[in-house]
């Protein structure tokens, strides 16, 4: 399996802050990388796929970059509704593995 490692596992930030989350793959996945947002008690919601393509309806403050084994998700200016857990997932080869999640909390 391709192992996905996210960092940090949690972070504290304030509204208006810029936030960056990283995701590393144990082997190259080209740009087959998705990012999800999950709020407590809810299903995950797709933010970005193909490493940098914003899913329809997702605010432009979210952006993704990277290829190969290193990827980042950036929130340019954190909004109150962005406090949640973020997951990366490689979709290059099955099983499509997920990272361990990054919880973004209010400072």
Partner 1 sequence: QVQLVQSGADVRKPGASVKVSCRASGYTFTDYAIHWMRQAPGQRLEWMAWINTGNGRTKYSYKFQDRVTITRDTSAKTVHMELRSLTSEDTAVYYCAKDRLREPSITPWGASATYSPSIDPWGQGTLVTVSS
Q: Within 13 Å, how many C-alpha atoms sit on residue 46's CB side?
A: 14
Residue 27 or 77 with smaller CB distance to partner 1: 27
Task: Determine which residue in the list 17, 61, 76, 98 makes contact with partner 1, applying CB under 8 A.
Answer: 98
Q: 51: alpha, beta or left, given left = phi > 0 and alpha = psi -120 to 50?
A: left
- Candidate ranges 14-22, 48-56, 73-81; the one touching partner 1 (CB under 8 A): 48-56
**Binding of partner 1 at residue 40 (CB under 8 A)?**
no
Query: In the structure encoding, which two tokens stand for residue 98, read together?
Result: 């997920």
- Candidate ranges 11-19, 32-40, 71-79; the one touching partner 1 (CB under 8 A): 32-40
**Binding of partner 1 at residue 100 (CB under 8 A)?**
yes
Distance CA 82, CA 3 (A): 26
């Amino acid at each position: 399996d391709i192992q996905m490692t996210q960092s940090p596992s949690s972070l504290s930030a304030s509204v208006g802050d810029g936030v960056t989350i990283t995701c590393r793959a144990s082997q190259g996945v080209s740009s087959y990388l998705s990012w999800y947002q999950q709020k407590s008690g809810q299903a995950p919601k797709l933010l970005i796929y193909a490493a940098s393509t914003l899913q329809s309806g997702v605010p432009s403050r979210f952006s993704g970059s990277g290829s190969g084994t290193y990827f980042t998700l950036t929130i340019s200016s954190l909004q109150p509704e962005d406090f949640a857990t973020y997951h990366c997932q490689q979709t290059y080869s099955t099983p499509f593995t997920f990272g361990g999640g990054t919880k973004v909390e209010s400072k």
